[in-house]
Chain A
Amino acid sequence: MIRVQKEDFDLGAELKALTAGNHAVGGLCSFVGLVRDVSGGGGAGGETVGAMTLEHYPGMTEKELSRIEAEARERWPLDATLIIHRYGRLEPGDQIVLVAAASAHREAAFEACHFLIDFLKTKAPFWKLENTPGGGQWVDARSTDAAAAARWTPSPGKAAE
């Protein structure tokens, strides 16, 4: 399931609902992304961020998230998957994104969860605009994100593209 929304989400309620009634699930792995209060890599030199605005491409966003979810379900034996991504104005500490994967065993759940967030970060059409003391600043894509996603390609059993 995928959802793109302005509103916050209740992590506990979402995870509970994801596996409700399915007792074949032995492991549920989730990742939540939060808004940091420092721009850049988070180390020294980053500017203080007051808030940020997440812009996205309505229509393509849903398609890309669905493709990423379908790809995960093709690669691992998953009982349930969930991607929630927020847009609009967000404050430091706010939840931005939730990805979750449930499977009979932990390995598939861990790997699929990691895959979902890595692919989402390089494919889903979202852009962060940080409000810093120096004004609005579009966040630059990080090469480490591309490298993280590249680890997962090509998919097992598929020819290299």
Chain B
Amino acid sequence: MTTSMKLLYFAWLREKAGVGEEDIQPPAGVATVAQLVDWLVARGGGYAEAFGDRKVVRVAVNQEYVSLDHPVAAGDEVAFFPPVTGG
């Protein structure tokens, strides 16, 4: 059974975080998207900059839009990106 979580970053969030995709093993206590973001920001580097303004960060868990209080668990695919600009 997997214990890791797959994180994806797109557009300027990818550029600021300095990574497009990574597998992570968050510590116990990371049970929601907001807690995951807190943990990432605490890692420092580009993460703090990428999540500097959380209001503009969109989140998808397993490819569905969710809010910051949505639960996350091992095996999830969690994506962070700016508001979309296609079309």
The verdict on A1 contacting chain B, using a C-beta distance below 8 Å, is: no
Contacts A60-B63, A60-B79; is A124 near B11 (CB within 8 Å)? no
Contacts A59-B63, A63-B63; is A123 near B11 (CB within 8 Å)? no
- In contact, B81 and A127 (Cβ under 8 angstroms): yes
- In contact, A128 and B86 (Cβ under 8 angstroms): yes
Give bound CA distance, A85 to B87, whole Å: 7
- In contact, A126 and B63 (Cβ under 8 angstroms): no
Give the bracket for the number of chain A residues in contact with chain B: 20 to 34
Contacts A63-B63, A125-B60; is A57 near B85 (CB within 8 Å)? no
Annotate A102-129 by CB proximity to B: 1 below 8 A, 0 otherwise.
Answer: 0000000000000001001111111111
Which of these, B12, B60, B64, B65, contacts A138 with CB under 8 Å? B12
The verdict on A150 contacting chain B, using a C-beta distance below 8 Å, is: no
Give the bracket for the number of chain B residues in contact with chain A: 10 to 19
CB distance from A81 to the nearest CB of B (A): 16
Within 8 A of A (CB), among B41-67: 60, 63-65
Q: Chain A at the B interface: mostly helix, strand, loop or mixed?
A: mixed
Which of these, A60, A63, A128, contacts B85 with CB under 8 Å? A128
CB distance from A34 to the nearest CB of B (A): 11
B residues whose Cβ falls under 8 Å from a Cβ of A: 8, 10-12, 60, 63-65, 79, 81-87
A residues whose Cβ falls under 8 Å from a Cβ of B: 33, 54-57, 59-60, 63, 85, 96-97, 117, 120-129, 138-141, 145
Having A57-B81, A125-B10, A126-B87, one finds 16 other A-B pairs with CB under 8 Å, namely A57-B10, A57-B79, A60-B63, A60-B79, A85-B86, A121-B85, A123-B84, A125-B81, A125-B84, A126-B85, A127-B86, A138-B82, A138-B85, A139-B85, A140-B85, A141-B82
Can you identify 13 A-B contacts, CB atoms within 8 angstroms?
A57-B8, A63-B63, A63-B64, A85-B87, A120-B86, A123-B84, A125-B10, A127-B10, A127-B11, A127-B82, A127-B85, A129-B11, A141-B84
